[in-house]
Structure 1
Amino acid sequence: MQKLGKTGLEVSRIALGCMRMASLEASAAQVVVKTALENGITFFDHADIYGGGESELRFAAAVNELGIRREEYILQSKCGIRKGYFDFSKEHILTSVDEILKRLGTDYLDVLALHRPDALMEPEEVAEAFSQLKQAGKVRHFGVSNQNSYQMELLQSYLDEPLVVNQLQFSPAHTPLIDMGLHVNMKEDGATVRDGGVLDYCRLKGVTVQAWSPFLIDLQRGIFVDHPDYANLNQTIERLAAQYHVSREAIVVAWILRHPAKIQTIVGSMNPDRLANIAAAEQVTLTRPEWYDIYTSAGNSLP
Structure 2
Amino acid sequence: MTAPPDIRAHRLLYGCMGLGGGWDTLPYTAEDVGRAEAAVEAALAAGITAFDHADIYRFGKSEAVFGEVLARAPGLRERITVQTKCGIRLPEGGRVGHYDLRAASIVRRVEESLARLRTDTVDVLLLHRPDPLADPDEIAGALTSLHSQGLVRQFGVSNMSGPQIASLQARLEVPLVVDQLEMSLAHRDWVEAGVLFNTPAAAGTGWPPGTLEHCAAAGIRLQAWGALARGRFTEGDDTPAGRLVADLARSKGTTPQTVLLWWLQRHPAGIAPVVGTTRPERIRACADAVSGETRLSHEEWYELWVAARGTPLP
Q: Structure 1 length as normaliser, TM-score?
A: 0.90
Is the aligned partner of 1:250 residue 2:249?
Answer: no
Indicate if the aligned counterparts of 2:221 and 2:272 stay in contact, CA closer than 8 A.
yes
Q: Does 1:176 align with 2:185?
A: no
Paired AA for residue 85 in structure 1: H
Match of 1:289 among 276, 289, 299: 299
RMSD: 2.2
- Alignment of 1:30 with 2:37, yes or no, is yes
Question: Could you say if the C-alpha distance between residues 236 and 200 of structure 1 is closer, same or farther in structure 2, counting changes exceeding 3 Å?
Answer: same
The correspondence of residues 1-303 of structure 1 with structure 2, limited to 5 A, is: 8-9=6-7, 11-23=9-21, 25-83=32-90, 84-189=97-202, 194-216=207-229, 224-225=232-233, 231-282=239-290, 283=292, 284-299=294-309, 301-303=312-314
Report percent identity of matched pairs: 37
C-alpha distance in 2 between matches for 1:93 and 1:226: 38
Which runs of no fewer than 5 residues in structure 1 stay unpaired? 217-221
Aligned residues of 1:33 and 1:63 also touching (Cα < 8 A): no
Gaps of 5+ in 2: 22-30, 91-96
Q: Distance in 2 between matches of 1:244 and 1:194?
A: 33
Tell me what 2:27 maps to: none
How far apart are residue 38 of structure 1 and its match? Answer: 2.1
Deviations 1:95-115, CA, capped at 9 Å, x for gaps:
000000000000111110001
Matched residues in 2 for 1:246 and 1:277: separation?
8
**1:245 partner amino acid:** G
SS at match of 1:62: helix
Q: Which moved more, 1:281-290 or 1:56-65?
A: 281-290
The amino acid of 1:129's aligned partner reads A
* TM-score (ref. length: structure 2): 0.87
Note if contact 2:49-2:81 (Cα within 8 Å) is conserved in structure 1: yes
Secondary structure in structure 2 of the residue aligned to 1:188: helix
The 3 A distance-change label for structure 1 pair 173 and 8 is: closer
Deviations 1:250-269 (A, max 9, x none): 11011111112221110101
Code of the aligned partner of 1:42: T
Aligned residue in 2 for 1:219 = none
Q: Deviations over 1:34-56 (max 9, x none)?
A: 22112210000000000111111
Moved more, 73-82 or 250-259: 250-259
Separation in 2, partners of 1:27, 1:172: 32
Cα-to-partner distance string for 1:6-36 (whole Å, 9 max, x where unaligned):
x845643110000011126222211211221
Work out whether residues 8 and 221 of structure 2, in 8 Å CA contact, stay in contact via their aligned partners in 1: no
1:212, 1:192 → 2: CA distance? 18
